[in-house]
Structure 1
Amino acid sequence: MPANLDALLRYHTIDLCLQNRFKKWTCEDLANACADYADEVAPRDSRSIPSKRTIQQDIKVMRSADLGYFAPIKNESGCYYYEDEKYSIKNVTLSKLDVENISLASKILGQYKGFDFFKDLHGIFERFESRLQIQIADKLQSNIAFENSQAINGQEFLKPLLNAINEKLVVQITYQKFGDISSKIHQLHPYLLKEYQDFWYVLGWHPASNAIKTFAVDRIENIEIKTDKNFIENLNFHNDTYFKDTIGITFTGDNPEKIVLHVDNEFAPYLIAKPLHQSQQLVETKEKHTIFKYLIVVNQELENILMSHANHISILTPINLRESLKQKLVKALNNFS
């Protein structure tokens, strides 16, 4: 069963308490210890003490196979203790499947350059795992190949930007757009880091524009944290829904449109396997073609994708999108004339 951070902190605290066999630990004692430790890790406005039922459930989980602890926790007269004096959940080793899963995650996340905690994930094994398990992880990773992404400017700013987002800090960035002769200074209240086609972007409130604005991280030359500025939150911005109707990084603010594609059956299986957008619907399949329908905002990224598949698709609606791509295709044809 998955465990959230608060639960994991409680398991850690209960484990520390039960290793101290010179004290009798009641549910109330364990709850207060958990509250104290939580305040040390992440101070809060008000002290939150777990309920007796929460502590009992935590002990049930620790005793079980859910997280692989199998903790030998005993109860006598309302007091808890470890039956095995040498036991600790920190001594629990990872299974072969655990090692394989973490190794795979390390390999995948390691492709995102600029985040040291992704790159260093494999080093976790060396702190608590046997040499044999490390060899299992290395062998698994050697059998996985990814497209080699090129080093992109600005990757050193990813972690500072993420920290600023998490800590709600205002940043001042030195930024030079493509085509500009010189760089400019921008103040930004960052909300989100987004990756698209190997490039990273940071979105946030831009006071000079009085709007949410997107900056390409590879065009950033310098970042400075402005501790003297108050962070402005936007209650209308939600990370998980902001790009819901959009492909790529260009947010126009326009309403999504119904787009209907006529796709030849040579290419249709690829769209079925990997939809262009989460709104994709298969309308009908004929002998030689398939009709797909979308509800999506028209932007440059969408047009680029449709252009890349122009030899397999045609746009039935909207007409203005069809005409826009038609003009681009005519220009492309002239380039090869």
Structure 2
Amino acid sequence: MKKDFYLTRYALIIKKLESAPATYAQLEDYLLNSFEFQDADIKSYSIRTLQRDIREISNLFNLSIHNKKKGDNRYYIESRPTMEVDEYNQKLLESFQVSNALNVHPDFSGYIFFESRKPTGVDHFYDLFFAIRNKRVVTFEHYNFKNKLMTSRKVHPLALKESKGRWYLIAIDTNDQLLKSFGLDRINYLDVSKTKFREKYRYNFREHFKNAFGVMNLTEQKPQKITLKCSRHQGEYIKSFPLHQSQNEIKETPEDIYFEFFLHPTYDFMQEILSYGKEVKVLEPKSLVDEIRNHLKESLNSYLED
């Protein structure tokens, strides 16, 4: 068994057991007939390897797998981690599956194409993660695109948030004690000090961002019901890849699909809607309709002025 193949085995075992319980023989047949095993030219999978994989899956993903269900010896996932950890597991499995495909086949460049835009700032990720877990005070220089200024910051780091391929640090700015977001791609001269902060902040970021689109919701703003009318063509795409976890399809006609959301009508969300052009129209709330209408008028005027 190839030593660098274990992550792929874990992903395949979890995928199989998530669909239905399976005996060792069924798991073995599933694995050996998978394209991953065929490409790696692996022709055997022992019960001993399965038992070892189950222990490692438990340690790595916090998934408890057993095979004593009603005496039929089928393996099944007995318990799942919390929703937060489950989301992390899914991201991890996706990364494993992609990275394994690239590692097994060094000639992937002729078949697999990545987005040409390169993310920046991720080199700070682990340092900030360490600072958050250990409550370390952090200092850095941060560039503001709007006023084009570089400012010195001293913060209490609390969380990391992803949005549209960018990572943000969520932290308390010690200058004014306000909760703010800082793009990792605009952070320079990062320093994680040995000084710890003792404040016990009571933010529940899962709740905090539950009704947010992007990372802009750091103020006390109430979420609203938002209704969209989408063309049938665009609506099918939005249906298959929801814009937000609160998305709910409320109506269909031969020409259109209607969706309802419950979130903060942030600038990020407005930009997302505008990106669909005439294919998506906001029906409510009126405040968001007016904001988009004014934005479109200003955009049109900027072209007419030319």
TM-score by length of 2: 0.63
User: C-alpha separation between the residues in 2 aligned to 1:260 and 1:69?
Assistant: 45
Structure 1 CA distance for aligned equivalents of residues 141 and 102 of structure 2: 42
Match of 1:257 among 210, 221, 224: 224
Using a 3 Å threshold, how does the CA distance of structure 1 residues 166 and 141 change in structure 2: closer, same or farther?
farther
Structure 2: 5+ residue stretches without partners: 1-8, 11-46, 56-91
Kindly report which structure 2 residues correspond to 1:53-72, keeping only aligned pairs within 5 A, or say none: 65-68=50-53
Quickly say closer, same or farther: Cα 1:194–1:334, change in 2 above 3 A: same
Aligned to 1:284: 251
CA distance in 2, matches of 1:276, 1:323: 21
1:150 aligns with 2:118: yes
Tell me the equivalent position of 2:294: 327
Are 2:134 and 2:196, in contact at CA under 8 Å, matched by a contact in 1? Answer: no
CA distance in 2, matches of 1:236, 1:205: 11
**Is the contact between residue 245 and residue 295 of structure 1 (CA under 8 Å) also seen in structure 2?**
yes
> 1:136 aligned to 2:104?
yes
1:295 aligns with 2:262: yes
- The root-mean-square deviation of aligned C-alpha atoms, in Å, is 3.2
Q: Residues 233, 227 of structure 1: CA spacing in aligned structure 2 closer, same or farther, 3 A cutoff? A: same
Counterparts of 1:307-318 in structure 2, within 5 Å, are 307-318=274-285
- Matching residue of 1:242: 208
Residues 1:209 and 2:176 are matched in the alignment: yes
2:195 to 210, 221, 228: 228
Q: 2:95 aligns with which of 75, 85, 105?
A: 105
> Residue 276 of structure 1: SS of its match in structure 2?
coil
CA contact (8 A) 1:280 1:295 kept: yes
Amino acid of the structure 1 residue aligned with 2:230 = V
- Are the structure 2 counterparts of residues 135 and 280 from structure 1 closer, same or farther at C-alpha, using a change threshold of 3 Å? closer
Per the alignment, in what secondary structure is the counterpart of residue 204 of structure 2? coil
Corresponding residue to 2:158 among 184, 191, 197: 191
Higher strand residue share: 2
SS in 2 for 1:232: coil
- Aligned partners of 1:187, 1:294: CA distance in 2, in Å? 36
Q: Secondary structure at the match of 2:132?
A: helix
Residue 258 of structure 1 and its aligned partner are, at CA, apart by 0.4
- Assess if the C-alpha contact under 8 Å between 1:190 and 1:202 holds in 2: yes
What is the distance in 2 between the residues matched to 1:218 and 1:184?
14
Q: 1:165 to 1:331 in 2, by over 3 A?
A: same
Counterpart-to-counterpart distance in 2, 1:205 and 1:182:
20
SS in 2 for 1:241: helix
Cα shift at 1:213: 1.2
SS at match of 1:278: coil
Alignment correspondent of 1:218: 185
Question: More deviation in 308-317 or 139-148?
Answer: 139-148
Look up the match of 1:96.
Answer: none
CA deviation string 1:261-290 (max 9, x = no partner): 111212110111111111111111112212
Paired residues of 1:188 and 1:205 also in contact (CA < 8 A): yes
- Taking structure 1 as reference, are residues 289 and 158 closer, same or farther at Cα in structure 2, changes over 3 Å only? same
TM-score calculated relative to the size of structure 1: 0.58
Deviations 1:194-245 (A, max 9, x none): 222232210112232222211112222212223234243312233x333111
Higher helix content, 1 or 2: 2
Name the CA distance, whole Å, in 2 between partners of 1:199 and 1:329: 26
Extract unaligned runs of 5+ from structure 1: 3-61, 71-101, 110-121, 123-132
Equivalent position amino acid for 2:173 in 1: H
Question: What's the offset of the Cα at 1:192?
Answer: 1.4
Quick one: structure 1 residues 173 and 233, their matched pair in 2 at CA, closer, same or farther if it must change by over 3 Å? farther
Percent of aligned pairs with the same residue?
Answer: 22
| Aligned residue number for residue 140 of structure 2 | 173
Match of 1:19 in 2: none
AA aligned opposite 2:164: Q
Offset of residue 181 of structure 1: 5.8
- Note closer, same or farther for the CA distance 1:107–1:267 as it changes in structure 2 (3 Å cut): same
Structure 1 Cα separation of the partners of residues 268 and 280 of structure 2: 16
Count of paired positions: 223
- Identify if the C-alpha distance between structure 1 residues 171 and 140 changes in structure 2 by more than 3 Å, giving closer, same or farther: same
